Amino acid sequence: MTRDTANRVEGTIAELLAARGEESRRPLADPAPLPSTEELDVRNLEAYDPDSGLRVPVRRYGPRGQDEPLPAVLYLHGGGWAIGSIDMLHPWVARLAADLGAVVFSVGYRLAPEYPYPAALQDCLAVLRWVAARPAELGVDAGRIALTGVSAGGALAAGACLWIRDHGGPPVVLLHLVTPSLDDRDDTESRRRDWGPTELSPVLVRESWDGYLAAVTGEVPGTAAPARAASLVGLPPTFVAVGERDAVRDEALLFAFRLAADGVPVELHHFPGVAHGLAGQVAPGLRRRIDETVLASLREALFDA
């Protein structure tokens, strides 16, 4: 799919879109047990932002018996801006909330190609403003909010932080990027390489960007593709994790290097042999290290600041 033919979907992205209704209702395969209902208070809510008039579905995960404000995490799922949902990501987000001991909000942003940029970004910003404006109601500390984005969600998280830097908004204590898709250009070695049938396809990355940017005319803004931002000065402290066998590997590494050069505190992890989403068959020790590293960065930013 190209930007000139956004109403016609072909190829691998077409297969994903055709299955979107079914896949959005199916939890991700996850062999580990879900947190028990005794651990978490899970609520389906609707974020209403009076500034934009947007209403966005949100699922709130928090500890049961919570009696004091806790740090908050906004979880922005991946899926090439075209698939994914609150239900589909429920197992992972529930476990994140239980392991972290914070309040996590899973954001049901609008999907491309029906809703191209800036719809999803607007939804994420609306939820951020909604959470920050209702700390007592939601049981959160508005001064300790992190944005975590996976894959396409990484572009949304970084784009939101760029928007806040330039236009104002609630402060973010950590920009947490897991295998982020940040650049719509196909200029890196990892985007040109064929990683094999079981890995993220560069063609799928290309088609996903085309759907997301279908309504963009002229130069692509940094809030859409954060790698295009002229400067990263002023972004919050950032965590970046990416695997070796990932089409978005190089853009994630380059973004982290640019953050450091622009004076932004950045923590970078490159995991050998690991695929997109920090997935794939890896040794149990490496899997534990990946999970502990991703969680530790959030815990330190939210609880040790």
Active site residues: 151, 246, 276
Residue 1, helix vs strand vs coil: coil
> C-alpha 285: how far from its chain's center?
25
Contact 185, 195 (CB under 8 A): no
Residue type, 33: P
DSSP, residue by residue, 97-152: HHHHTSEEEEE----TTTS-TTHHHHHHHHHHHHHHH-HHHHTEEEEEEEEEEETH
φ/ψ (deg, to 5) at 148:
-115, 130
**Residue 13: CB partners within 8 Å, gap ≥ 6?**
1, 80, 82, 204, 207, 208, 211
Which tokens is 226 given? 């954060």
Residue 6 CB-half CA count within 13 A = 19
* Residue linked to tokens 């297969």: 15
Closest by Cα among 148, 175, 14, 160 to 80: 14
Closest by Cα among 179, 196, 143, 111 to 302: 143
φ/ψ (deg, to 5) at 136:
-65, -45
